[in-house]
Amino acid sequence: QAKAFGAQGIGLCRTEHMFFEKDRIFSFRKMILADTVEQREAALAEIEPMQQKDFEDLYEIMDGLNVNVRLLDPPLHEFLPQEEHLIAELANAIGKSVAEVKDRIHDLHEANPMMGHRGCRLAVTYPEICRMQTRAINKAAIAVSKRTGKMVEPEIMVPLVLEVKELKYVKNEICKVADELIAASGLDMHYHVGTMIEIPRAALTADEIAKEAEFFSFGTNDLTQMTFGFSRDDTGKIIKEYNKKGIFDEDPFQSIDQTGVGQLIKIAVEKGKATRPNIKLGICGEHGGEPKSIEFCHNIGLQYVS
Ligand code: PEP
Ligand code: MG
């Protein structure tokens, strides 16, 4: 569909969104609820072939156009069951009691999930998740390259980075897995690792982050959330009042706040380019669909909108 609309690539493949279907969400929830590495690896082994198949389809359909795959970034509250009958169904499927599952959900509860255990924090605490995804991406790219004779060049994107050492840690996990698979394939395949800029600290330290990132994609949904201190999920009513009272002219989640958020993006663009002059720069927040925001991105030198 995107290609029919003229898309020249995919700027943000949100991998967690591939797990909302009923037959998949159990495996995903098993992974989240696992309390040992062994349990998590067992759930990941169920997920890996599903991911690989999705990526193969994506690469094949996009037929040489760029596909940027983001590593898992699931705010846990979006994936844990809340209703009684769903908890019972899940407990049954994974062979645990309802009480055990409830306890685990309680353990995982976060007061501020959007600022909690998500993004690359998951890859740092559970590197096996990032390794599984890297395997799925590269195995799919290798299979499609061999099948079609057209070399796929995977782009792997690390979300919610706030510090270069964090990116370096995750990138090291990615590269170990990817390099080994590519060497074994006998192909001369290249891949790229980059990051999202979604946290003000990442924008302000973009010169350091660019040492490890081949591209920046501005996640302006989170960057707006973190810069304003407005929860993406809860602030709609407040913003309406602010619009009514003339405090805001627009909803900053719809049109980029050029004064504040835009300033952070400009700083990150300058600092990123100072370290890596050929850094690839784009935006993947919802703002990429809003004309004024697109014009702003164009004017400050971003190369694509997603
Ligand atoms: C963003 O934060 O702008 C983004 C694209 O990521 P997500 O909306 O999935 O958090
Ligand atoms: Mg985000």
Residue 170 has pLDDT above 80, yes or no: yes
Q: What is the pLDDT of residue 125?
A: 95
This prediction's pTM: 0.95
Residue 237 has pLDDT above 90, yes or no: yes
8 A C-beta contact, residue 302 and residue 282: yes
* C-alpha closest to that of 213 among 289, 266, 147, 161: 161
> Separation of 160 CA from ligand 2 center, angstroms?
7
What are the residue ranges of helices labelled H in 186-230? 200-204, 206-209, 220-228
> Separation of 89 CA from ligand 2 center, angstroms?
30
CA distance 138 to 174: 10
For a substitution probing ligand 1, which of 10, 13, 14, 19 has the most ligand atoms within 8 Å of its CB? 14
Q: What is the DSSP code (8-state) at residue 161?
A: -
Q: Cα 2 to the chain's mean position, in Å?
A: 19
Q: Cα 6 to the chain's mean position, in Å?
A: 23
Specify the DSSP element, H or E, that contains 14.
strand 9-14
The SS3 call for residue 250 is: coil
Ligand 1 atom 4: residue of nearest CA: 219
Residue 23 has pLDDT above 80, yes or no: no
Under the banding of pLDDT at 50, 70 and 90, the label for residue 300 is very high
> Separation of 305 CA from ligand 2 center, angstroms?
15
Task: Give the phi and the psi of residue 24 in degrees, each rounded to 5.
Answer: -105, -30
- Average pLDDT of the chain to the nearest whole number: 95
The SS3 call for residue 80 is: coil
* C-alpha closest to that of 287 among 214, 207, 167, 198: 198
Q: What is the pLDDT of residue 63?
A: 96
What are the residue ranges of helices labelled H in 186-279? 200-204, 206-209, 220-228, 236-244, 261-275
The SS3 call for residue 257 is: coil
The CB of 198 under 6 Å from ligand 1? The reply is: yes
Average pLDDT (130-140) is 98
The tens digit of pLDDT for each residue in 2-22 reads 899 999 999 999 998 888 887
CA distance 212 to 238: 38
Average pLDDT (294-306) is 97
Strand order in the sheet with 304-305: 9-14, 66-70, 155-158, 192-197, 215-218, 280-283, 304-305
8 A C-beta contact, residue 161 and residue 119: yes
The CB of 142 under 6 Å from ligand 1? The reply is: no
> Separation of 122 CA from ligand 2 center, angstroms?
14
For a substitution probing ligand 1, which of 118, 221, 255, 264 has the most ligand atoms within 8 Å of its CB? 221
| Closest ligand 1 atom to 306 CA | 5
Average pLDDT (90-118) is 90
Under the banding of pLDDT at 50, 70 and 90, the label for residue 160 is very high
Counting Cβ atoms within 10 Å, is residue 231 exposed (0-12), middle (13-18) or buried (19+)?
A: middle
Ligand 1 atom 9: residue of nearest CA: 14
The CB of 12 under 6 Å from ligand 1? The reply is: yes
Residue 163 has pLDDT above 80, yes or no: yes
Residue 77 has pLDDT above 80, yes or no: no
Ligand 1 atom 10: residue of nearest CA: 222
CA distance 163 to 272: 14
Cα–Cα distance list, 199 to 87, 119, 137, 219, 236 (Å): 33, 11, 26, 9, 21
Q: Higher-confidence residue: 111 or 202? A: 202
Q: Higher-confidence residue: 20 or 228? A: 228
Residue 233 has pLDDT above 80, yes or no: yes
Average pLDDT (68-91) is 89
Average pLDDT (88-99) is 89
The CB of 284 under 6 Å from ligand 1? The reply is: yes
The CB of 11 under 6 Å from ligand 1? The reply is: no
Q: What is the pLDDT of residue 46?
A: 93
